[in-house]
Amino acid sequence: MKDWHTDDDNNACQENEQTNNGIDNKRDDDNNYTSIEVNNVCIEEDQQIGENEISKSSNKTYKLGNIIGNGSFGVVYEATCIETSEKVAIKKVLQDPQYKNRELMIMKNLNHLNIIYLKDYYYTEAIKKNEKNVFLNVVMEYIPQTVHKYMKYYLRNNQFLPIFLVKLYSYQLCRALGYLHSKLICHRDLKPQNLLIDPKTHTLKLCDFGSAKSLISGQRSVSYICSRFYRAPELMLGSTNYTTHIDLWSLGCIIAEMVLGYPIFSGQSSVDQLVRIIQILGTPTEDQMKVMNPNYADVKFPNVKPKDLKKVFPKGTPIDAINFVSQFLKYEPLKRLNALEVKTK
């Protein structure tokens, strides 16, 4: 591999909140039935979780601080472990007691430098309007920055993310995906907001496994997944037999965005997103359509010639960087560069 290889909140986020509830308990025909043990923590009606609230697991006590993330999936708090004084992040999501939480099941089996570490988890109850709700609390290491925040910082100063950081973050993300995909786990929601960065070491950690799934050959999966700007074309064509290669498309989009300073494909709808892709990659051939989704093989698009990617990226962008991105942005999923290959080419 050449040297480059080795070494905006947007509408897509809003759209993704409709599909990623952080629980994913009953989707995609998994057999997730279970029973759970609920900690003896009960919140009466009108009592609000917030700063200084005490939350307990079986052997740790946590003091909740500011909300650092929220959406339809639930809420993420900055918190402190009282016993160790360690700062952590706690993701609190509504849990159906009859079903396992897929995100938790996956995180329990992950151990990689570039993937967020599961430190603890526990269940709590809340009573509101005489109805009892069970919540899963996922305790993770606290990392304050994201690739998205770094890009916004440089953009505000009319600068691009330094190329050495693009290289560093790209390589670490490839390592994380190589590990994840070796376990046949597909993240299904890769985006700059889900790439945490330690500001002292610039270590990247992939987070938010609320949409992740262990893909099994022959088992169908929902196609309406992944934030729009990073959604692979086969998903927009309704494929339900996709593979971990949808993550590789997202990876290419993220690397391109780090270089450009903005999303390379920024459609206002799923149809418009596909149009934006065609405007750069050109019209997919009949064979390419067949590979993405055989049901769409006869669909005809206007004949658009592919753009030279050198004209898409800013002047002075290293050719190696452009070529690297192009190896992920392929219509044919199997032709996308495998994350495990990045260290060997």
> Which is more confident, 74 or 29?
74
Q: For position 298, what pLDDT does the model report? A: 74
Q: For position 300, what pLDDT does the model report? A: 80
**Is 56 labelled as part of a ligand binding site?**
no
Backbone angles phi and psi of 96, in degrees to 5: -80, 115
Nearest to 15 by CA among 191, 240, 180, 153: 191
Q: Tell me the pLDDT tens digit for each residue of 250-286.
A: 999 999 999 999 999 999 999 999 999 999 999 999 9
Phi-psi region of 157 (alpha: psi -120 to 50; beta: other; left: phi over 0): alpha
Q: Tell me the pLDDT tens digit for each residue of 317-337.
A: 999 999 999 999 999 999 999
Q: For position 19, what pLDDT does the model report? A: 34
Confidence of residue 47 (pLDDT cuts 50, 70, 90): very low
**Token duo for residue 146:** 């994201």
The amino acid sitting at 324 is: F
Q: Which of 3, 29, 189, 208 is catalytic?
A: 189
Backbone angles phi and psi of 81, in degrees to 5: -80, 120
Confidence of residue 73 (pLDDT cuts 50, 70, 90): confident
Q: What is the average pLDDT score of the chain?
A: 86
Q: How many CA atoms lie within 13 A of 335 on its CB side?
A: 10
Pairing of strands 131-141, 54-56: unpaired
Cα–Cα distance between 137 and 95 in angstroms, integer?
9
Architecture of domain 3-13+144-343: Orthogonal Bundle (1.10)
SS3 category, 27: helix
41: pLDDT strictly greater than 60:
no
In sequence order, the 6+-apart residues with CB closer than 8 A to the CB of 19 are 211, 222, 224, 225
Architecture of domain 25-141: 2-Layer Sandwich (3.30)
pLDDT-above-90 percentage for the chain: 72
Domain boundaries defined on the chain: 3-13+144-343, 25-141
Q: Tell me the pLDDT tens digit for each residue of 102-155.
A: 999 999 999 999 999 999 999 999 887 778 899 999 999 999 999 999 999 999
User: What does the pLDDT average to over 19-41?
Assistant: 42
The amino acid sitting at 20 is: N
Give the rounded distance of the alpha carbon of 323 from its chain centre.
Answer: 24
Backbone angles phi and psi of 311, in degrees to 5: -85, -10
In sequence order, the 6+-apart residues with CB closer than 8 A to the CB of 59 are none
List beta partners, residue 185.
214
10: pLDDT strictly greater than 50:
no
Pairing of strands 118-128, 74-81: unpaired
Q: Is residue 189 among the annotated active site residues?
A: yes
17: pLDDT strictly greater than 50:
no
Neighbours of 79 (CB within 10 A): 23
Residue 69, judged by CB atoms within 10 A of its CB (0-12, 13-18, 19+), counts as middle
168: pLDDT strictly greater than 60:
yes
Q: For position 33, what pLDDT does the model report? A: 37
Backbone angles phi and psi of 102, in degrees to 5: -60, -40
Nearest to 309 by CA among 339, 271, 264, 254: 264
Q: For position 34, what pLDDT does the model report? A: 43
> Which is more confident, 70 or 162?
162
pTM, entire model: 0.85
The amino acid sitting at 69 is: G
